[in-house]
Structure 1
Amino acid sequence: MKNNSMLHPFADVQNQLQKKRQQLMLKRGYLELAKNAAIILIIVLIAFTQVFYITVSSGTDMYPAILDGDIVLGYRLDTNYLKNDVVVCEADGRRVIGRVVARGGDSVDMTEDGRLFVNGTEQTGEIAFPTNPGKQSYPYTVPDGCVYLLGDYRTNTTDSRTLGPVKVENIKAKVVSIFRRRGI
């Protein structure tokens, strides 16, 4: 019997070419996978640095709506902050999560018995805690380009009553979702 190389003089070359082709295809597959992974990583990086904001809540400023340790997801692109929006901002060198109760030009008034008035209308919402006036004198007019924030746990929170109004440009994001960390 004749061996295969005698029957087909280029069989060895053909086998080597076949192996090289397979190696090249495998290498191309890995390069394509790496390229796709890099594109996905860039998209995620852009999404979470330009579109979304993620942080972990600390403290009880927004109790019971947001609890200590909850993961807060915010949306950065919506800059039209309305009354009752919950936002994350930087104020006085710290991260603050609070509820917008008034915007630029609005008048805020608080009574000693814990009632809150915005533009002369009493704000009676689902807030279970009385609103103590804090350090500011009232009535107070919120400057243009600012919002007045209050935490939901109004008897023990750091908000605009101690920090003053928050400039809109210091708001990092509007809160769109909260993920409870208990039991994770």
Structure 2
Amino acid sequence: MSDFQKELKSWIILIIVAFLISFVLRAYVIQPFRVQMTSMVATLEPNDLVLVEKITYRFSKPHRGDVVVFIPPNNPKDKYIKRVIGLPGETIYIKNDTVYIDGKPLKEPYLNSPMADMEPVKVPDGSVFVMGDNRSVSLDSRVFGPIKISSIIGRAILIYWPINHFQFLLAYSGENP
């Protein structure tokens, strides 16, 4: 085998290994997600690119304030991005533009729009209640109900594009009720 053939073979192997590593990382560890709609404005803008990590919820449960990507029950071919508001066993209702969890108000400084009142909803075990930050236009658990934790693809951790939106997405839990 000539030096050229050896070099070519090593490059082919390197490319195949890189492809396999990339595939495994994207399938099981981290993947990009493009924000499509305005339901998370001002936290996320349409066309923002975020990194979604897929490992955390294999070992722990979602926390209030986590921004998650999930498959919605009303449209199983799509992916939505929303904020976790209610946890299993909690009762959520909305009165006068305030979310109440088990009767206690939730502080949400990230909100930028009013929201309609909502009758109490108890979050079942194995589910969470999700809402967009731009409540006046968000299609969320107020419409399709709590989502199964198993439908969550992962937790959004970083806005990486456009570069002027670059920031880490930290969960804001408000005053934990």
Q: TM-score, normalised by structure 1?
A: 0.80
Is 2:88–2:128's contact at 8 Å kept on the other side of the alignment? yes
Cα deviation digits, residues 62-89 of structure 1 (max 9, x gap): 0001101111210111112100000001
Aligned partner (choices 80, 87, 93) of residue 103 of structure 1? 87
Partners of 1:139 and 1:163 in 2: how far apart? 14
Q: Equivalent residue of 1:139, what SS?
A: strand
CA, structure 1 residues 180+26, in 2 after alignment: closer, same or farther (shift >3 Å)? closer
Cα deviation digits, residues 134-169 of structure 1 (max 9, x gap): 5xxx22110000000010001111110011101011
Report the equivalent of 1:114: 97
Report the equivalent of 1:40: 18
Partners of 1:174 and 1:167 in 2: how far apart? 14
Q: Equivalent residue of 1:73, what SS?
A: strand
Q: Which has the higher helix share?
A: 1
Please list every run of 5 or more consecutive structure 1 residues that lacks an aligned counterpart in the other structure: 1-22
Partners of 1:86 and 1:119 in 2: how far apart? 21
Is 1:107–1:140's contact at 8 Å kept on the other side of the alignment? yes
Report the equivalent of 2:144: 163
Q: Equivalent residue of 1:59, what SS?
A: coil
Are 1:124 and 2:107 counterparts? yes
CA RMSD of aligned residues (A): 1.6
Q: TM-score, normalised by structure 2?
A: 0.83
Partners of 2:161 and 2:23 in 1: how far apart? 24
Partners of 1:147 and 1:179 in 2: how far apart? 27
Partners of 2:23 and 2:93 in 1: how far apart? 42
Partners of 2:107 and 2:114 in 1: how far apart? 10
The structure that has the greater radius of gyration is 1
Q: Equivalent residue of 1:161, what SS?
A: helix
Report the equivalent of 2:50: 72
Q: How does 1:133-152 map to 2 (within 5 A)?
A: 133=117, 138-152=119-133
Please list every run of 5 or more consecutive structure 2 residues that lacks an aligned counterpart in the other structure: 165-177
Partners of 1:131 and 1:77 in 2: how far apart? 33
Give 1:179 shift.
2.5
Partners of 1:165 and 1:77 in 2: how far apart? 22
Cα deviation digits, residues 80-136 of structure 1 (max 9, x gap): 21000000011111321100011110110111x2111112210122123233235xx
Is 1:142–1:148's contact at 8 Å kept on the other side of the alignment? yes
Residue type of the alignment partner of 1:26: F
Are 1:49 and 2:27 counterparts? yes
